[in-house]
Amino acid sequence: MDRFSQLEFGDVHPEQPREPGEPVRDVQYFLTEAERYWLAGDFEIALRNFCRALEQNSTLFTGWSGQIRMLIELTEYKEADLWADKAMDLFPEHPELLALKAVANKRDNRLAKAIGYSDNAISQNDLTPRVWLARAEVFMDRQEAIVDGCLSKAIALATQDKDIIKLEAARLLRRKRHFHRAVGLLNEVIIKMPKSALAWYELGCCQGHLGLNQTTHSLEEALRLRPHWHCADEALQRFSRRGFFGRLFKR
């Protein structure tokens, strides 16, 4: 069964009897699990948990938004765009959904459409931090001032999820190769969320690009939190090879 068949609703799996002490698998349980797996960099399982939350409550905006974000993480841009349209049947012209469509189109190399969706998003009321994160990404290859301003607005607008937004901003900065600024944000994030393998991985990647000795520790911490994670393991091996050849060259 492909991942998209899991996105249909109305076919809720029958609940199995709970063992004593086992948590109630309600909407909040699946949302918490989805965020936990996202912070571990396991976007596939995060997607499944957002889907399970929507099976129980198909009018839940955070479920729709999270599901679309995970499809984007998994590079399923056309599916993300499609499901954003489905979500807008329930939440017409919601700025975050428009922003997610902008991101999906930008990553799918449809810049004109991405700009149009982003422009529409910021013209709405009640903007969320991800509206500004999306705009920063859409204009990432253009003026620095726009990107910086959008990231600052996203972080300022965030309340209880400020560290999540800082992590997402840092990931954008890494893609823009602003490694020093990304490291600064990621160090703040890790103080508050030391168990996030994704944050440690992003930090290690940025440190590796800067040639910092802390790279090994950060990537090993990501692997300790999420053993056998291919991305982190590959990044660690790549940095180790760079270190070996650097020492060899000096000799």
All domains of the chain in start order, with CATH? 24-142 (1.25.40.10), 158-251 (1.25.40.10)
- The helices-and-strands tally (H runs, E runs) of the chain is 13, 0
* pLDDT in single tens digits along all 251 residues of the chain: 355 555 544 444 444 455 566 778 899 999 999 999 999 999 999 999 999 999 999 999 999 999 999 999 999 999 999 999 999 999 999 999 999 999 999 999 999 999 999 999 999 999 999 999 999 999 998 777 889 999 999 999 998 899 999 999 999 999 999 999 999 999 999 999 999 999 999 999 999 999 999 999 999 999 999 999 999 999 999 999 876 444 333 43
Residue closest to 44 by CA, chosen among 68, 5, 74:
74
Residue 89 to residues 58, 97, 154, 207: CA-CA distances in angstroms? 12, 11, 26, 43
> Which residue's entry shows tokens 């938004």?
65
Residue closest to 128 by CA, chosen among 106, 102, 105, 97:
97
Residue closest to 154 by CA, chosen among 76, 198, 95:
95
